Structure formats: C-alpha cells, structure tokens
Chain A
Amino acid sequence: MAELMQFVLSGLTVGAVYALVALGFTIIYNASDVVNFAQGEFVMLGGMITVFANMAGLPIPLAALTAIVVTAVAGVALNKLAIEPARGAPVVSLIIITIGASIFMRGLAQVVFDKQLHRFPAFTGDTPIMIMGATILPQALWVLFGALVVFAGLWAFFTRTLTGKAVLATSNNRLAAQLVGINTNWVMTMSFALSAGIGALAGVLVTPITNTSYDVGIALALKGFAAAMLGGMGNPIGALVGGLLLGLIEALTAGYISSVYKDAAAFVVILLVLFFMPRGIFGKSSTDRV
C-alpha cells in the first residue's frame, strides 16, 4: 500500500510538471492554432533567469518575478519579430518558425548564461511530507498548486472574460474577429506574453525538482506537448488531466513493470487515446464547413 502510494505521489510530482508546461501551450494554440514549440524554451528561460538573477544578488521571489517579466517580453518579441511578419503563412510554416525560434533561444542562452546545470533551493525546504507511509517533497505541492491556479485562471479567462472570448474568436476566424472590432494583432501579442509568462512560472516552480540548464526546454516541451495532445490541445482541463495522467502512467510503469518501459508505456497509451479520440480526451470534435 505504501508502495502504491509512493508511485502515485511520484506520478503526481512528475505529472504536475508536465501539466504546467502543457498549460502554456493552450493560449497561443487557442489564439492561432499554432503549437508553439518554443514553449519549452520559455520554461528554460524562467528557470535560468531566476538562477542568474539570484546569483546576481536578487532574493528568489524578486528574481522569479524578473524572470517571468523578461520571458513575457521575449514572448512578445517572438511574436513581433518572427510570427507577425509571417502573417498569412500556413499554420505549418508558423510551427516551423517556432522550432527555429526555440533553437535560436537555446543557442542564445548557451552564450548569455552557461552550459552548466543549475538549481536554487526549494521554496519551503526539502523535508519530505509523509502521506500514508509514502513521501512527497514540499516543492511538488508548489508545482501542483501552481498548475491548479494556472488552470483555474485560464478556465476563467476563456469562459468568463471578454478578452478570452476575443482570443477564441481570433482563432475561429481572424477576418470575422476583425470585423466585429477585435484587435487581432493585440490578441496575438497578448497570447504570446501570457504563454511565455506561464512557461516562465513553470520554470520557476519546477527548477528545484528538475534542475535547469540551457537545454532542458526540448525534453520538457516534448512531454508537455504529449500531455496536451493526450488531454486535448487548447483545453486547459485537458492539459491538466493529460499531464497528471502521463506522470501517473510513467510512475506506475516504472514501479510495477520496469523502469525500462516507462516512456514506452506512456507513449503507447497516448497513441491508443489518439487512435480512438483523435482530438484528445477533452478535445471537441472538429466541424469543418464544406
């Protein structure tokens, strides 16, 4: 029993990390149908800027805030310099642009920061919390809490606010959105800023667990993307459930079957889900006008 509990807690720890990254994909995807593959780099920037701002003498909370603001600015720059000039290009081209941007950001981080691994202390210490004979680190609770808050915020944003609805309208039909008076350029800029900010927040929260370095973005983005696909791209609840589910499958496979098949098992489940539910667990079935 304690064993199962430990596997579940481990799954929740890892799953919360995936969920937080997956949530970051949501806004840009909802605004433009673009899967932003530079999302992992936002997470990396969040962690790395916090580390270096902290080393420069800023206390962690201030360093984290700096990281989130700077990363949001980087997100806006990405939109203004790379996505907006390519306006009108097909979605696939835009996705390829985000891949290019991620490579660029990784290269830049390697020069501006360094190539070493870094970490800063957990917010509330490293003393494990005992739950039914199993343990979880306090930082994992922070990550879980962060994922829940971001989820709640996004849910309220898309269903309760006019701005959120403007984002969805822009995604549905940009021309129609413009005709009803939505400033679609501003919507795109804001989506990138918000996505980047959420990514950076994820980076700040997960770094005490995962460590950070200039190249952590790829692996995190890949798992976050898989989680978002599993749950249903663009849906905040999908990102949350998808992330936690992915973490749990990995942890239970590692615990009960073999750590060798951990990733394979997770991807088999994703393939099966996408086979029967191509839009993910919570994805809306798509309706195309003919």
Chain B
Amino acid sequence: MKSLTALATLAALGLASAASADIKIGATMSETGPAAFLGDPEAKTLKMLVEKLNAAGGINGEQIELVLYDDGGDPNKARTFATRLVEDDEVKAIIGGTTTGTTMSIIPVAEDSEVPFISLAGAVEIIEPVKEWTFKTPHTDRMACEKIFEDMKARGISKIGMISGTDGFGASMRKQCLGVVGNYGIEILADESYGPTDADMTPQLTNIKNTAGIQAVLNPGFGQGPSIVTRNFQQLAVGLPLYQSHGVASKSFIDLAGAEAAEGVHLPGAALLVADLLPADDPQKPVVEAYTAEYTAKYNEAVSTFGGHAYDAFQILMQAIERAGSDDPSAIRDEIEKTTGYVGTGGVVNMTPEDHLGLDLTAFRMLEIKDGTWTLVE
C-alpha cells in the first residue's frame, strides 16, 4: 500500500514537472492575516481564472501554471516569496501585493530581476514615479478624492469639513484629498480625526457641526469607523450631505450603519458593486455581470472590488502574453504597457509609458444610498 502511494506521488511529481514547461505565472497574496478580506477573494479569483483558461485550451497553445504563495500581509514574507518566485520558480510575471506594504517590498525584486509585476494595492506611490516593470489595477485614493470633489463642485459646495480615520487607509486618503482639494476651489474648514477602533465620534462631529459655513462633510475611512461616523452624524442631526469613501463601498456598510442613518450618503464606488444598476449600453456591464455570475456560482459568496482587481490584472497579463506571442518577460512588459481599451471590472484601461494604471475618473461611479440600497447618481 505504501509503495503504491509512493508510486502515485512520483507520478504526480512527474506530471508536475512535465507541466512546468508551460507558462509560469507567480502570485503572492495575503490570503490570511489582517488583509485576508482583500487577499482571499483575489486568490480565489486567480485560481478560478487559471482553471477556466486552461480548460479552454490555455494561451498561445500553452497551459498556464499558477504558483501562488500566501504572505499573510507581511511585507518581509512578500519579499521572500517574490524572490523565490523569480529565482526558484522562474515565473514570467508576478501578480499580487495585496496591500501597499507588501507591494512596496515586491517592487525592488521585480525591478532588479526584470519581471513584469502587476500590483493589486491602492496607493498612488506604486506607480508614481513610474517604474519600468511595475503596473497596478486598482484605482488610487487620489482618484476617489477627485471624484468626490468633482461631485461637490457640481453641487455648488465649496466649504467642507473632513473627519478621517488614523489607520493607513484613512491617513493616506486624507493626505491625497488635501493635495488635490485646491484644484476644485474647495476649502476644508475643519479637519478632524478618529482612531480605527473608536466607538463614538460625536465630539469631532459636534465641532464640525458648529463650524460656520460648512456645506458638506467628507469621511475618508475604512472598516468600522465610517459606519459609526454615519450613525453619529444622524444622532447629532447635522443635516448636511455626508460623503463616504470608496473604502466602504460594500453591502455590509449599509447593514453596519443602519439603513436609516445611511440614507442619503454619497460615495464613489466601482461599477462592479452596482452591476445590476448599470444601463444596458454601459461598456463595463457585460464584464462585471459575467465576473459576478462566475464568481458567485463557484464560491457562493458576493463579489468584492478586490477580487475584481485580480480579475483585471490577470486579463491584462493574458492579453499581453497573447499579443507578445511569447513568454519572454521583456516582451510581456512591453505589451502590458501598450494595453489600450481593455474594459475591466475597475474601468477602461489605457496604459502608456507614463501611466502604468491607465484608469480615469469614469472608473468611479457616484453612488447614493436610498432606502437601504445603492442608486447611481449621474
């Protein structure tokens, strides 16, 4: 019996090495740890797509082999895994870097070993300044700020109060918002903050409420903070428009804040979240609907924008490999940079040598919460 198992193992190993002649793609993601809610749908999406592509005959007649590591959200591990991907597994491209922290530690490895790398993290620093081998798919904080300010400007709002979380997401978005707010002729009259685990924000909101002239309030934040801000906002009857960030654009936010408190909240969100609300002629509609259907059928859970980022990264990479007609990393890199008109879950991607993200503000939709559900504002 034992020898039989050994034989089977040997056979499996033999199969594995035979398969390694195919195109190898590497990924390091945070499937566990504090960023698991981001990394988990990303990894699931990649596995699903690779399986589907291989079943359909692969790409350029070759099968794709995915080498996936779980870095647990630890930048040190991410760097180790990236090195292993490049040196031991000899992958042709890397997808991953679930968080900005892990991405930043993968970048030097990808740049030094000249392997194309598509990150799934948010910060604008990843692609600014442009790095030759590094790309990313998610929208940046700055774009969310710009989308919100654009909407405020259109509504004639010029003086606002801001209350941000002091966690990584909130602090980074606050910085980006402060950087671009001047371009829209909007003034921030009150700039308050709260800790990521705080249970009550009424003192900060009272100060904002009592600041004369404020026409709207913006809350860059993530996790539980925004839901508490929203409830406190209603508790104090502030009576001004409340803008939340793309960080809370998920169904659970409405549940956490309560439909009554969340009524009328404005926020920018990806098309993926409102797949069923998009007009029939929207170019993104078929893409987001197909991905949603496929993902929910396979894993029986709701899609998230994070899985969508992995979807986009994989499709961009596969199209680049197809166009390059080879698995030479340098040829793949050049083709990724030439990506134009790719319609993904995050928006329409048009990359250039100066722009390794390729999204514009149309990637975000302005949403308003009405009767406990999303509605599109146009």
Contacts and interface: CB of A to CB of B under 8 A. Distances in A.
Determine if chain A interacts with chain B.
yes
Nearest to A219: B197
B199 A14 contact: yes
B222 to A, nearest CB: 11
A244 interface: no
A116 B224 contact: no
B206 A117 contact: no
Nearest to B197: A219
Interface of A: 3, 6-7, 9-10, 13-14, 17, 110, 115-119, 121, 126, 128, 135, 137, 206, 209-211, 213, 215-216, 219-220, 251-252, 254-255, 259-260, 262-263
26 contacts: A6-B236, A7-B202, A7-B206, A10-B203, A13-B199, A13-B200, A14-B199, A110-B36, A115-B37, A115-B40, A119-B255, A121-B258, A126-B234, A126-B235, A126-B258, A126-B260, A128-B237, A135-B235, A135-B237, A209-B200, A210-B228, A251-B202, A251-B203, A252-B203, A255-B206, A262-B194
B200 A14 contact: yes
A259 B199 contact: no
B36 A117 contact: no
Contacts of A216: 197
B206 A210 contact: no
B224 A3 contact: no
Contacts of B303: none
B17 interface: no
Contacts, number: 89
A269 B170 CA distance: 27
A259 B193 CA distance: 6
B203 A259 contact: yes
Contact of A10 (B40, B200, B258): B200
B252 interface: yes
Given A126-B235, A219-B197, 12 more contacts: A3-B210, A6-B202, A9-B202, A116-B252, A126-B258, A135-B202, A135-B237, A209-B200, A210-B228, A254-B203, A254-B204, A262-B194
Give the interface size class of chain B: 20 to 34
B322 interface: no
A209 B206 contact: no
B231 interface: yes
A119 B255 CA distance: 8
Given A3-B210, A126-B260, A117 B224 contact: yes
B206 A6 contact: yes
A126 B193 contact: no
The listed residue with most A CB atoms (<10 A of its CB), out of B197, B235, B252, is: B235
A199 B256 CA distance: 22
Interface of B: 34, 36-37, 40, 166, 192-195, 197-200, 202-204, 206-207, 210, 223-224, 227-228, 231, 234-237, 252, 255-256, 258, 260-261
Contacts of B224: 117, 210-211, 213
Contacts of B234: 126
A126 B232 CA distance: 10
B305 to A, nearest CB: 15
B199 A126 contact: no
B169 to A, nearest CB: 14
B227 A211 contact: yes
Contacts of A135: 202, 235-237
B256 A126 contact: no
Contacts of A251: 200, 202-203
Given A126-B261, A128-B235, A216-B197, A259 B204 contact: yes
5 pairs of A and B residues whose beta carbons are closest in the complex: A219-B197, A255-B203, A254-B203, A10-B202, A210-B199
A117 B235 contact: no
B195 A211 contact: no
A239 B197 CA distance: 20
A117 B256 contact: yes
Contacts of A126: 231, 234-235, 258, 260-261
B256 A262 contact: no
A7 B227 contact: no
A210 B229 CA distance: 11
B227 A117 contact: yes
A201 B210 CA distance: 36
A18 B197 CA distance: 12
Contacts of B231: 126, 137
Contact of B199 (A17, A119, A215, A255): A17
A115 B36 CA distance: 8
Contacts of A9: 202
A116 B227 CA distance: 13
Contacts of B227: 117, 119, 211
Contact of B256 (A110, A211, A219, A254): A211
A117 B223 contact: yes
Nearest to B202: A10
